[in-house]
Amino acid sequence: MKKQTFILEVNDSQNESWQGSVEWIQGEKKQPFRSVMELLRLVDSAVCGEEGHLAAGWDFAEGMDADV
């Protein structure tokens, strides 16, 4: 397994959970999340995804310009 790096930005905390965005450095993607569970699913899909395959849940549009 290759080391993966993420930058986490928490913008709010509602309903006993976090909302914000996570940037996956190696995948060159940024994705908003609405809960801690959604954040963990995104990170898990990036870390545990098969090499050479797209990680589930990540927006694979060009660049890291996701509006969050």
pLDDT of the residue at 50: 56
Torsion of CA 8, 9, 12, 18, to 10 degrees: -10
Between 49 and 45, whose confidence is greater? 45
Between 39 and 48, whose confidence is greater? 39
Q: Where are the domains of the chain?
A: 6-52
Taking a C-beta distance cutoff of 8 angstroms, is the pair 22, 57 a contact?
no
Instruction: Give the mean pLDDT of the chain.
Output: 82
Flag whether pLDDT at 30 surpasses 80: yes
